[in-house]
Structure 1
Amino acid sequence: MTKYFARPAAMGMCLLALGAVASGEPLAPASLNALQVIEDVEISPDGSRVVYELTRTDVAQDKYERDLWLIEGENDPRPFVTGTGDDSRPRWSPDGKRLAFISTRQGRPQIFVLEMSGGEAWRLTNEPSGVGGFAWAPDGSRIAYLARPAMPAPKAGGKDAPASADPAILARTRALVTDRLFFRMDGVPGFLPNGRSQLFVIEARPNGAARIGPLTDGHAEPSEPVWSPDGQWLFFSAMPTTWEAEVEFDTELYRVRADGRSEPEAITAHKGNDDAAIVSRSGLLALTGHDAGKPHKSAYQTELYVMKPDGTGRRTLTSAFDRNVGEVQGTDAAWLHGLGQRVAFTPNGKELLFLSGDDGLTKLYRADIGGGEVREVPNVMRGDLREISVADNGKMATIFGSPTQPFEVWTSDGVGKPWRQRTRQALANLPGVKLSAYEQIETKSFDGQRIQGWLVKPPDFDPARKYPLILYIHGGPHAMYGENFYHEFQVLANAGYIVLLSNPRGSTGYGQEFANSVQYTHPGDDAHRDLMAIVDAAVARGYIDERRLGIAGGSAGGTLTAWAVGRTDRFAAALVERPAVNWYSFVPGADAGVYFVPHWFRDFPWRDPEDYLRRSPITLVDNVKTPVLVIQSIEDYRTTVDQGQQYYSALKMLGKPARLALFPLSSHSLSRNGPPSQRVQRLEIILQWFDEKLLQRPDQT
């Protein structure tokens, strides 16, 4: 049953204390279960209330639970909507009198609406396959939402199943047949349905609500819809249903009448992405995206555009801003399911606010819709902002994190005004835990290129001692490490290691030229030499034991790690996680493999095998002298399970020290949002491996 709580609760209150750690204890892998994650913050139109998601771990059920919490005025946060399922994606009605959200309390995710005056939340939708993103109409009378049409249930009998088969068993065992180029996606079990999400509109009232749609039949996977100020039009981004568009990942912006009296109409037409549209009160459209003209790039810079509602008058506001609009840092202390808004109009519609990564920080910027220089907003905390929500009166809410503080809710009275922390829930189950601040380190690489990094030292660091060091390499490779909270690094620091983070060439946050410099060479020796240079700089500080160096990376970082141990024997232990080690088999095997041609490779592997083999770390296994731990998720569709298995098997065939850890039921995002028990077990396996190889502790695997 849904409950609306009428009395404030203590700011540090935890709904679930499973996995709590006693004060002062070292941060062990199991402490991951005690973290609480805050996401999807939404400030009410009048700025008086802030609602957000709080995710916690149910250890007994090995799952996550999401509830909605509320901050009213100057009061402490309190649990606001709780139920038997997950509650997420809170969205205020335009007048702030109602709150809509998605809940699984009655099975499939559906839209529920709660009157802020009190009472029970009532279900608005009843879609057989559940509901995705949604948006209120400007007058609050309707809600537009995404839903996938129901697929026919598997039938017993016939040539593909025994006549008495149970439908639930059939769903797991019947053949999966598709004609789609993109027939699976990492994190989605099985094949993608042949049916695509479509756009619907429903009256926002509790009984007998009329439903219109689908409005978008035939358009591939629309984005979350956006209303025009007069409520007549809906805007959404989608990929045209053509082979060329799928190969290029080309998306356009569409509009369709909200009453269903028109076909969807593309209002943009260019090579590249048009995504994440928002609308000002005057009807001006703002969107993010990039132009994908030739020459192709592996790292396209995300720009900010404005245009009229019919698509005319398109202008780029960030052409002189050499950073990605909307970028945030990677972390293992946030999920990817419900990232909030990263671009917003100011109330007067004259400026756009947006987040962007720069030199390992996520910053807030402002751009005048009339053009001119993009400016950084002052009085923003140093670390990682994830979202930005703006009220009609200019008040703002965000979630912010730093190396020693996971994400919490912060509010401000307006652009450029001070921010105040409003929650202290992320570490509420970890009182007195010892966390390490990051220490910035810089060096010059072989060609004079500046390379930035950070050292995460043990909480009781003593400069007179010698410490083992583990170099971590981020994925992407077009991503960045920075000054935010990473549970994994804090666990290793608490265990006595110094963790070295770095952003070699190919990383974002340093301009497009730096990011795109590895386009046709990744993993390659240039980025490898950047990484060795930052290790040299760390060793030169005098407190690193050069005999006890480790190296680790996941995804593109795993590929670079495999490349590194094939190029040098300076490391005493390595972790290669979810890598691409054989590009020839990767491109036709990955869920998005077709994108890599021509953006990462100039041609397909069967046409240019030499280039693929030249860049494949598996060709360097003869050179490997470093013991290697390989971690791979069996349900990883991005860097598929055979990649990790190939690398491990090749090492073992040559009699080299290697260990393999395979995780069933998990995807490419195991370390970020896999099952809680597997995420803890993964950390335990990693810690045991480095303890064994760098600290000479006995094998307890």
Structure 2
Amino acid sequence: MDEVSITDLYHIKSLSQPWAAGPLTFFVENDLSQENNDYTANIYSIDQHHHVKQYTNEGLNLQPLVVDDYLYFRKQDENQHFQLMKMPINGGVAEQVTTGDSIGQVKLAPDKQALFFKTVQTPVKNDDELTTRHVDKVQNRADGIGWIPTDNHYDLVRFDLKSQTATTIWTGTEDFSLEDISPDQNQVLFLAAEHPDWTSKFDESLAVYLYDIDKQEKIWLTKSFPDGVFSDAHFSPNGQQVTVIGSDYSHYSATVNQLYLYDLTDMHVQNITGNDDLDVGYEHSIGSDMIQNRSGISGTWFTNSQYLFQAYDHGHSQLHIWDGEKTTLVTDDLRDIVDFTVNDTQEVVMVTSSTERPAELKILNLLTGQETSLYNPNQEYEQGHTYAQVSSFYYPSTDEKVQLQGWFTKAQGTNDKAPLILYIHGGPHAAYGDTFFHEFQALAAKGFHVVYFNPRGSTSYGEAFATDVMGHYGENDYDDVMAGLDYTLDHFDGINKDKIFIAGGSYGGFLSAWTISHTNRFQAAIVQRPAIDWIGLYTNSDIGVPFVEQEMGMDLYRDEGAAQYYWEKSPLSHANKVKTPVRIQHGELDRRCPVSQSEALFLAIKSTGTDSDYIRYPKSYHGLSRNGIPSLRVQRIEDIVEWFNRYI
């Protein structure tokens, strides 16, 4: 049996966006094309006899939904625009329904008589390289995008399925996210920024709005949470209630997301979950490098008094049902529920991922609790490959205040003691968890153990746990990863204790750089897209001002002593003490942690004579390791292996 190679990134598939249509379940199978150096997403269906049918075979094909005998979906065209397609489910050629402007989220009206979707009109780019850019907003860039568009137009369109005609409901210059349609098709729920007109400060809000089509009236539904950030909004089957998932953002991105219920008759709002330890929805998802095109829909109504929703707890997914009075835990297995929907018999159709199973389509019977596997896209691959063993464990913090969680991926292909890589996640308000990680599997196949933890500051352990790092970077979080390393060395066999390495990206880049400037325990380090200088990040990152102010606990200009505190908490201020050989990796288009952060770190370390180098990856944003150009994702891991092998 072969192990997972670095280039198996091209061969391991993931699933997303399930859609139940009678006896058929449709879904998207995601893949990476080595030939085209790009991503693909194709639509399949499977019946109750496990017969699989493929409907598309190239490019990006997303959001399958079925009405009568037709499959509708979005397909990316040669201009990188998405168009609405229509295809007979029993066979036939796909027909392009729309042309021109790119189609965004598509929603099926409850009566199945119409589709609603967003279109994006983008002006033709001026190819003149000498064209100047006039910037008048401080919030002007976004990682993964570049310059935020200022001249796009966004339309909400209703497409009548019987007449096959489209009607524009509204057009505007502000972006929005379409969430749901009322049963009578007269009301629309959408998400949008509260203050798009702000020019001198950042607006990180994402409010829920209700638009009445007949009255042409917009209602700010979440007005009682003026700084709130929300991700989901859904009408009840009778249209009288709305569920909303999000938070008041009182603790910035460390705030736990809750499930709220709005009664549209009197606009009364109720916090359904009311639990600061349970993180509802997908906004604080656990980290993985295999998930593509997740729908992001975190909940769905069964009846007017039953709502099914997803939440994260201690590094894994749960499903809960609210019955109008209380919430009940439905499933608590150690895995990530990547996507889910409900079929006609009120069974849950879900895509799952676990540490040793990249993807699987399953059906969960809510009455019996029984699960049935429908489809494994990697079944053939797994017949010839074996995954590295992954173990989850808990250990006490040094101050004995909390229990911390970690995972150990065992090295393959050797009976000797293997080197160990300590890996630190980004965020800091993010989390590792019980899900598949190709990179860690590939490193294990190269003969490295990999251990990773969720130190204080991570999500899925409650709000107090997540906020612990704020204003205290490099304190408990540093102690937590070092305590985890000590626990690993004491409790896992087969580790070469003289060959210990460290790696991390983004916040993990901060903490790995901070660590090697405070200890010489590691034989080599990989620092990726790091936050190195808080003053520089405040002024240059796409989220710099609000992020650094909240995470450092003071504002650079408003609070006395902030500049000195920022500098003391910056790994750059300690870089002259680094003796650990370090390789720095950074995407050249990164707007979150700009390349200037790595430039400064490399200069500071290299000037001391410590062995170091610096690799820049072209055409790559902050998310290179998750959704970057496939060949560069492969190259990045090969660069990690090559560097650590120098010091074995």
CA contact (8 A) 2:121 2:152 kept: yes
Work out the CA distance in 1 between the residues paired with 2:100 and 2:55.
25
Equivalent residue, structure 2, for 1:532:
482
1:94-113 equivalent positions in 2, closer than 5 A: 96-105=68-77, 107=79, 108-113=81-86
- Deviation string 1:126-153 (CA, Å, 9 cap, x unpaired) is 233x111121222333222112233255
CA contact (8 A) 2:258 2:275 kept: no
Work out the CA distance in 1 between the residues paired with 2:55 and 2:398.
55
Equivalent residue, structure 2, for 1:122:
95
Counterparts in 2 of 1:562 and 1:427: CA distance versus 1, 3 Å: farther
Work out the CA distance in 2 between the residues paired with 1:192 and 1:655.
41
Equivalent residue, structure 2, for 1:161:
none
Read off the aligned partner of 1:629 and give its amino acid letter.
R
| Higher strand proportion (structure 1 or 2) | 2
Equivalent residue, structure 2, for 1:25:
2
**SS at 2:566 equivalent:** helix
Counterparts in 2 of 1:268 and 1:69: CA distance versus 1, 3 Å: same
| Correspondent of 1:657 among 604, 608, 611 | 611
**SS at 1:613 equivalent:** helix
Equivalent residue, structure 1, for 2:348:
396
Counterparts in 2 of 1:205 and 1:92: CA distance versus 1, 3 Å: closer
| Correspondent of 1:325 among 257, 262, 280 | 280
Work out the CA distance in 2 between the residues paired with 1:228 and 1:500.
47
How far 1:416 sits from its partner (Å)? 5.2
| Correspondent of 2:644 among 690, 694, 700 | 690
Counterparts in 2 of 1:206 and 1:394: CA distance versus 1, 3 Å: closer
How far 1:560 sits from its partner (Å)? 0.5
Counterparts in 2 of 1:486 and 1:475: CA distance versus 1, 3 Å: same
Equivalent residue, structure 1, for 2:573:
619
Equivalent residue, structure 2, for 1:13:
none
Work out the CA distance in 1 between the residues paired with 2:265 and 2:199.
24
1:109-258 equivalent positions in 2, closer than 5 A: 109-128=82-101, 130-151=102-123, 154=126, 169-170=127-128, 174-188=131-145, 190-196=146-152, 198-205=154-161, 209-215=165-171, 217-218=172-173, 220-240=174-194, 241-243=196-198, 247-258=202-213
How far 1:540 sits from its partner (Å)? 1.3
Equivalent residue, structure 1, for 2:556:
605
Work out the CA distance in 1 between the residues paired with 2:605 and 2:170.
53
Work out the CA distance in 2 between the residues paired with 1:70 and 1:173.
50
- Deviation string 1:612-654 (CA, Å, 9 cap, x unpaired) is 1121111111111111111000011111111112111211122
TM, length-normalised to structure 2: 0.93
Work out the CA distance in 1 between the residues paired with 2:370 and 2:494.
39
Q: Which piece of structure 1 moves more, 658-667 or 450-459? A: 450-459
Q: Please state if 1:546 is matched with 2:490.
A: no
- Aligned CA RMSD, in angstroms, stands at 2.3
Counterparts in 2 of 1:672 and 1:426: CA distance versus 1, 3 Å: farther
How far 1:381 sits from its partner (Å)? 4.0
- Residue correspondences, number: 636
Counterparts in 2 of 1:78 and 1:117: CA distance versus 1, 3 Å: closer
CA contact (8 A) 2:524 2:580 kept: yes
Equivalent residue, structure 2, for 1:11:
none
How far 1:298 sits from its partner (Å)? 4.8
**SS at 1:210 equivalent:** strand
Work out the CA distance in 1 between the residues paired with 2:152 and 2:77.
24
| Correspondent of 1:290 among 234, 247, 262 | 247
1:410-429 equivalent positions in 2, closer than 5 A: 410-414=362-366, 417-426=369-378, 428-429=380-381
| Correspondent of 2:257 among 302, 309, 312 | 302
- Deviation string 1:376-403 (CA, Å, 9 cap, x unpaired) is 214x543111112012420221111111
| Correspondent of 1:594 among 545, 553, 556 | 545
**SS at 2:30 equivalent:** strand
Equivalent residue, structure 2, for 1:20:
none
Work out the CA distance in 1 between the residues paired with 2:444 and 2:17.
30
**SS at 1:32 equivalent:** helix
Read off the aligned partner of 2:387 and give its amino acid letter.
L
CA contact (8 A) 1:566 1:623 kept: yes
Read off the aligned partner of 2:12 and give its amino acid letter.
L
Work out the CA distance in 2 between the residues paired with 1:665 and 1:263.
43
Counterparts in 2 of 1:117 and 1:257: CA distance versus 1, 3 Å: farther
Identity over aligned pairs, percent: 27
| Correspondent of 1:555 among 506, 525, 529 | 506
Q: Which piece of structure 1 moves more, 581-590 or 301-310? A: 301-310
Work out the CA distance in 1 between the residues paired with 2:378 and 2:31.
9
Q: Which piece of structure 1 moves more, 196-205 or 591-600? A: 196-205
Counterparts in 2 of 1:117 and 1:285: CA distance versus 1, 3 Å: same
Equivalent residue, structure 1, for 2:16:
39
**SS at 2:189 equivalent:** strand
Work out the CA distance in 1 between the residues paired with 2:294 and 2:395.
37
- Deviation string 1:181-207 (CA, Å, 9 cap, x unpaired) is 32221111x412103562422323487
Read off the aligned partner of 2:419 and give its amino acid letter.
P
Work out the CA distance in 2 between the residues paired with 1:588 and 1:354.
38
**SS at 2:567 equivalent:** helix
Equivalent residue, structure 1, for 2:596:
642
CA contact (8 A) 1:306 1:314 kept: yes
**SS at 1:375 equivalent:** strand
Equivalent residue, structure 2, for 1:628:
582
Unaligned runs of 5+ in 2: none
Work out the CA distance in 1 between the residues paired with 2:3 and 2:230.
46
Read off the aligned partner of 1:619 and give its amino acid letter.
S
Counterparts in 2 of 1:486 and 1:617: CA distance versus 1, 3 Å: same
- Deviation string 1:108-138 (CA, Å, 9 cap, x unpaired) is 211112343543332232233x111121222
| Correspondent of 1:437 among 385, 389, 397 | 389
Work out the CA distance in 1 between the residues paired with 2:410 and 2:164.
60
**SS at 2:450 equivalent:** strand
Read off the aligned partner of 2:245 and give its amino acid letter.
T
How far 1:297 sits from its partner (Å)? 4.3
CA contact (8 A) 2:314 2:460 kept: yes
| Correspondent of 1:501 among 426, 449, 452 | 452
Equivalent residue, structure 2, for 1:341:
297
Work out the CA distance in 1 between the residues paired with 2:164 and 2:405.
59
- Deviation string 1:36-81 (CA, Å, 9 cap, x unpaired) is 221212222x3x2111111222212211222101112223322123
Q: Please state if 1:275 is matched with 2:248.
A: no
TM, length-normalised to structure 1: 0.86
| Correspondent of 2:521 among 536, 558, 570 | 570
How far 1:427 sits from its partner (Å)? 5.5
CA contact (8 A) 2:233 2:243 kept: yes
**SS at 2:642 equivalent:** helix
Work out the CA distance in 2 between the residues paired with 1:244 and 1:134.
31
Q: Which piece of structure 1 moves more, 241-250 or 546-555? A: 241-250
Work out the CA distance in 2 between the residues paired with 1:225 and 1:340.
11
Work out the CA distance in 1 between the residues paired with 2:50 and 2:393.
41
Q: Please state if 1:51 is matched with 2:26.
A: yes
CA contact (8 A) 1:124 1:206 kept: no
How far 1:424 sits from its partner (Å)? 2.0
Equivalent residue, structure 2, for 1:5:
none
Equivalent residue, structure 1, for 2:316:
361
How far 1:479 sits from its partner (Å)? 1.2
Read off the aligned partner of 2:624 and give its amino acid letter.
L
- Deviation string 1:196-248 (CA, Å, 9 cap, x unpaired) is 56242232348771321435x25x32112310111111110111224399735
Counterparts in 2 of 1:460 and 1:663: CA distance versus 1, 3 Å: closer
Read off the aligned partner of 1:60 and give its amino acid letter.
E
| Correspondent of 1:474 among 394, 412, 425 | 425
**SS at 1:576 equivalent:** strand
